Amino acid sequence: MFSWRAEVRPGVWVAFTDATAGNLALHVGDDAAEVARRRRDLESALELGGRRFQYMNQVHGNDVAVVGAAARGPGGAPAAGGPTADALVSLGDPLAVLVADCVPVVLVGERAGGPDPVLAVVHAGRPGVASGIVPVAVARMRELGASALRAWIGPSVCGRCYEVPAQMRDDVASLVPAARCTTSRGTPGLDLPAAVHSQLHDAGVTVEYSGACTLEDTKLFSYRRDQDTGRFAGLVWTHAAAVPDE
């Protein structure tokens, strides 16, 4: 069910699912009821204590949504579609980002004066990397009092595999130089994981983990391998016992 999973500080967990967890996206033509069931199964397996992961309507932009009680739907559950954004930030609420080659980033920060950590997930595709979605999300976390930020970069297509036109490589690399690369075939490429790593480093965020290449690892969904594919998730949540009663 997971390509990677760990308790990253007491009571806070980060995970990235794999294809065995099934498609978790509502926008790829899958049966909505089946997607909802898989999401519930995931939440049950992770013992969220009745809480739900907040997903988002990802659009390759650089908008960040702060979520929590204001984003909840009827009955206290997060809205199924979620806000239109490419990053979510919360004070302890469980968060999810969906990908199938783009870079999923999970961030955790300490918060002085509050019991809950500051959590974030980021969808960093090529347009998002170029428009700075990662540093924008980091800045929003710090506005909420986050410090000692750490990041986990999930599986995504690597620079060896991500071939692009030369002009596209030049355009992105002019904004994020670390993105420039050459593929294993000797053609122009983009290394989005390296670009995200450089943006996190420049923002003073410690990177704890970087995942495998989605195109090379058949246990992961990859849009470049098969355009009729699902989406796996990057997740961050607090243990149910660590969440105070409302």
Go through 128-142 and write b for each residue having 16 or more CB atoms within 10 A of its CB, e for each that does not: bbbbbbbbbbbebbe
Find the length of the chain: 246
Fold of the domain built from segment(s) 2-157+197-237: CNF1/YfiH-like putative cysteine hydrolases (3.60.140)
pLDDT for the residue numbered 27? 94
Q: What is the pLDDT of residues 35-80, one digit of tens each?
A: 999 999 999 999 999 999 999 999 999 999 999 854 555 555 666 6
Q: What is the pLDDT of residues 124-159, one digit of tens each?
A: 999 999 999 999 999 999 999 999 999 999 999 999
Q: What is the pLDDT of residues 173-210, one digit of tens each?
A: 999 999 999 999 999 999 999 999 999 999 999 999 99
At 18, give phi and psi (nearest 5°).
Answer: -130, -170
pLDDT for the residue numbered 112? 84
Is the model's pTM score more than 0.75? yes
Domains of the chain, by residue range, sit at 2-157+197-237
- In the predicted structure, residue 245 carries a pLDDT above the cut 50: no
DSSP conformation letters of 79-99: PSS--B-SEEEESS--EEEEE
